[in-house]
Chains A and B, each alone.
Chain A
Amino acid sequence: MNPDEKNKHFDGQLRKKFEDFSPGVPTGLWDKIASQLDAQEQRHTVPMNVKQRRFPTWWTAVAAALLIVCGVTYWYNRPITTTYLQGHVAPDITPVEPTAVVIETAEPTPPPVPLDVERLKRVFAKKNRKAASNSPQRSALEEQVAERPTESAEFPQLAANDEVPPAKRIVEKAEVAAGEPPIVQPSVMEEALAGVPDIQPLVTLEDEDETMLASTAPAKQPFGLSNILNYVVGTVDQREEKLVTFSNDDEGSLKLDFNFSLAKNKKKKLK
Chain B
Amino acid sequence: MEQTVTIDSLYEGCKAGSRQAQEKLYRALASKLLGVCMRYARSTFEAEDMLQVGFIKVFRSMDSYRGEGSFEGWIRRIMVNTAIETYRRNMRSGQHTEIDEVHDDVQRTFAMDTLECEDLLRVIQTLPDGYRIVFNMYALEGFSHKEIAEALQISEGASKSQLSRARAWLKEKIKQLEGGTYEPR
Using a CB–CB cutoff of 8 Å, the interface residues on chain A facing chain B are: 1, 3, 6-7, 9-11, 13-15, 17-18, 21-26, 29-30, 32-34, 36-37, 40-41
Chain A neighbourhood of B60, CB < 8 A = 37, 40
Beyond A11-B140, A18-B121, 18 extra complex contacts between A and B, CB < 8 Å: A1-B109, A6-B106, A6-B109, A13-B110, A14-B112, A14-B120, A17-B117, A18-B117, A18-B120, A22-B31, A23-B31, A25-B51, A29-B30, A29-B48, A29-B52, A32-B52, A37-B59, A41-B17
Chain A neighbourhood of B121, CB < 8 A = 18, 21
A256 CB → nearest B CB, Å: 51
Contact of B35 with A by CB under 8 A: yes
CA distance A26 to B38 in the complex (A): 13
A13 touches B48 (CB 8 A): no
Chain A neighbourhood of B59, CB < 8 A = 33, 37
Chain A neighbourhood of B55, CB < 8 A = 33
B112 CB → nearest A CB, Å: 5
Are A7 and B106 also in contact (CB < 8 A) when A30-B23, A37-B22 are?
yes
Chain B neighbourhood of A3, CB < 8 A = 106
- B55 closest partner in A (C-beta): A33
Chain A neighbourhood of B115, CB < 8 A = 17
Using a CB–CB cutoff of 8 Å, the interface residues on chain B facing chain A are: 17, 19, 22-23, 26-27, 30-32, 34-35, 38-39, 44, 48, 51-52, 55-56, 59-60, 106-107, 109-110, 112, 115, 117, 120-121, 138-140, 167, 170-171, 185
CA distance A5 to B115 in the complex (A): 22
- B58 closest partner in A (C-beta): A33
Chain B neighbourhood of A11, CB < 8 A = 138-140, 167
- A25 closest partner in B (C-beta): B30
CA distance A26 to B22 in the complex (A): 17
- Of A6, A13, A23, the most chain B CB neighbours within 10 A belong to A23
Chain A neighbourhood of B120, CB < 8 A = 14, 17-18
Chain A neighbourhood of B110, CB < 8 A = 10, 13
A21 touches B171 (CB 8 A): no
Chain B neighbourhood of A15, CB < 8 A = 139-140
B38: contacting residue among A6, A23, A41, CB under 8 A: A23
Chain B neighbourhood of A10, CB < 8 A = 109-110, 139, 167, 171
- B30 closest partner in A (C-beta): A25
CA distance A36 to B59 in the complex (A): 11
Chain A neighbourhood of B27, CB < 8 A = 30
Supply 26 A–B pairs (Cβ within 8 Å), ascending by A: A3-B106, A7-B106, A9-B185, A10-B110, A10-B139, A11-B139, A13-B110, A13-B112, A14-B112, A14-B120, A18-B39, A21-B117, A22-B31, A23-B34, A23-B35, A25-B31, A26-B48, A29-B52, A30-B23, A30-B27, A30-B30, A33-B55, A33-B56, A34-B23, A36-B52, A37-B19
